[in-house]
A = this chain, B = another copy of it.
């Protein structure tokens, strides 16, 4: 980013700072405008699926939809134009997301035949995935992500064990309750067990026999207990990550560690501290 190629036009450089950067007033305004456009555009798609609104305001929704499609098309073309490596941008995660968020509208224009109705309906809903464009503004999930990565192995072991328990309980419930009480097959029984063990409890399928209710009670208590395990694992990892991030900041003057995340000066000798973000990013 620092070594910019001098041959580039000034406009292109300027545009890149606005579109890809966040450190200029215009860049910030662009980001906020984009964010609002995305949220509004998704709101539009969601509201359009409500029958009564679609009947009354369908036309306005269509106009709004094309407004946002054009907006995102311009954004996509601008990004393509001013990025230093166009192919790299086009093939990056956000490049693909940017393209996918405008493509469905154009495809719907090309195949307007009534016999593609359902496929088009589904296709148009894919526009909702333009919400992924928002991920761009989420540069802060690092600590969470790292804690999750660190504990992924333990979480896998946990989910593997839970799967075993779910399968065994499902078969038992299928045998005990049987098809007459809604447990019509093992996959359905697995669905019931997951509904129960996660404490969701829809109540669309419930045990009817005393024995089934007893096993259901045990299933619930198991779910209630093991809910603690991923929490425990993750909490321990996050605690560790927080301590680690804190220890990253060492006062360059007196060497004291363990400053608060928002501390700006060493609470031991008073000299200024390096900012946390610069440390984490490096």
- For A, the interface residue count at a CB cutoff of 8 angstroms equals 81
- The 0/1 profile, CB within 8 Å of B marked 1, for residues 131-173 of chain A is 1101100101101100100100111011111001001100100
Are B203 and A144 in contact (CB-based, < 8 A)?
no
Given contacts A164-B131, A224-B198, contact A190 B232 (CB under 8 A): no
Residues of B within 8 A of A108 (CB): none
The reply to whether the CB of A122 lies closer than 8 angstroms to some CB of chain B is yes
Determine the distance from Cα of A173 to Cα of B225 in the docked complex, in whole angstroms.
24
- The 0/1 profile, CB within 8 Å of B marked 1, for residues 228-255 of chain A is 1111111111111010000000000000
Are A128 and B161 in contact (CB-based, < 8 A)?
no
- The 0/1 profile, CB within 8 Å of B marked 1, for residues 186-205 of chain A is 11101100111011111110
Tell me the interface secondary structure of chain A in the complex: helix
Residues of B within 8 A of A154 (CB): 140, 143-144
User: Which chain B residue lies CB-closest to A172?
Assistant: B125
Residues of B within 8 A of A42 (CB): 167
